[in-house]
A and B are shown apart, each in its own frame.
Chain A
């Protein structure tokens, strides 16, 4: 009886999740009348804007990850080591982006850093790119911080630091050569999750008017029929790839640990 309900719930769920995936794949192959073809994909890949926007988003994702790691790892480390009393505040701040909608945050950016403000970031393309990177870092903050902090919990931060200090290591050395390698798996997980979030992000990029992959997809969706599902398949493959890489690094690290 229980098993029957369990299977029913599970299979209904699977159906719900599989159908859209089948739907988009099938639709994306229907460009040529009467037969399946990869024409839609060819059209997408022949479009220069696809490559431009995709590489733009990729670069921004890279910048976001680098900035996020440089910001989050030392902070999480320092809070664990020296400022445990600041933990609740820091954690509260890192969770704020889950509560404040992205559209509100970017609205604030536009009004705070417009051309007539003290810090006219939106005045130049580079400034806006920087602002967008900061926005993405904000979106990724809850995940990144959570991942790194969990990673730090599994190692004895204080002892490792004291050991390194007793051998004459400075702060930079400790962070780069002791702490970072130990939380590498957590950092990589956070990085791939950030990539998955940033690569197709629409709201911030569209409102800051930057040529990112998300707005490009939306634009294509408004004007074409067969390319959008092809883009959806590509985006899904990227997301899947990111999650697969997270699993891979996690499994790899377990393997490594098992060997020791």
Chain B
């Protein structure tokens, strides 16, 4: 073969291999990519079809701003609490000297609970912490504690936080238990023998090793609660001012009075979950230099 031939890539054959994933690519294009692109493009289109930034500018109203802010707050808090509580339970089971028997039921239950979201979950919490719920009544009759008078209302921000934790915590448990299992006993013993305290071991060895997993779960939990509609809708109806509920109402009845503002609202959601994931990927690559 001459040098020129070597340098120039040979004439492309029909890439037969790529045909094998054609159905998948077609599916992804039609039902994932294009619908999303439609939203993204729509966010920059005027009703007449021209390019405009007006939709995004129009998002800047008190009501929409506060909806975004509430949604972000809700997602951050439930992701944070979910990670913390899930981590506490998982490490209690893995390191806390709890009997081995509790581990497998906990994992199974977490699998169930992390999928027990949406409408039925809202019902369960209404029956428990709602105005006539089991715990509410019990606290009132047995201890004279009136949750409502103390400012707790299930159909409010904090009520939503408590409800979301029911699927956020198990999700964290499901992901973090295998990661905790991956911590080798030798690492802890090596650290101890070298003079490290338990706290030093966690700070310098265990947490840095777990960091990517924790971070990834955090991003997942964030997106999980940011996009959740059903639980909030079944719990509070259309009244709570968070982005997914607002978008839901907009799609159903154009409550914003401007179809293209709906695109912008949805586009904002993609941007935020997207940003959360980009942050995650960046942090992860930086913290995983020591992996292959």
Contact = CB atoms under 8 A, between A and B. Distances in A.
The answer on direct contact between A and B (beta carbons under 8 Å) is yes
Interface residues of A, number: 80
B123 A16 contact: no
A229 to B, nearest CB: 4
Interface string A189-208: 00001001100111100110
A79 interface: yes
Nearest to B198: A2
Contacts of B122: 221
A115 interface: no
Contact of A83 (B18, B119, B124): B18
Majority secondary structure, B binding face: helix
A240 interface: yes
A5 B234 contact: no
Q: How many residues of B sit at the interface, in one of the four size bands?
A: 35 or more
Contacts of B248: 103, 203, 206-207
B123 A228 contact: yes
B230 A202 contact: yes
Interface string B196-228: 000000000000000000000000100110110
Interface stretch (B20-28, B48-56, B181-189): B20-28
A107 B39 contact: yes
Given A105-B35, A221-B234, A236-B120, 13 more contacts: A9-B96, A17-B166, A23-B127, A75-B24, A78-B21, A101-B229, A103-B251, A106-B251, A108-B38, A200-B120, A202-B230, A239-B112, A243-B112
Interface of B: 17-18, 20-21, 23-24, 27-28, 30-39, 42, 85, 88-89, 91-93, 95-98, 102, 108-109, 111-113, 115-116, 118-129, 132-135, 165-166, 169-170, 220, 223-224, 226-227, 229-230, 233-234, 237, 244, 247-248, 251-252, 262-263, 266, 269-270, 273-274, 277
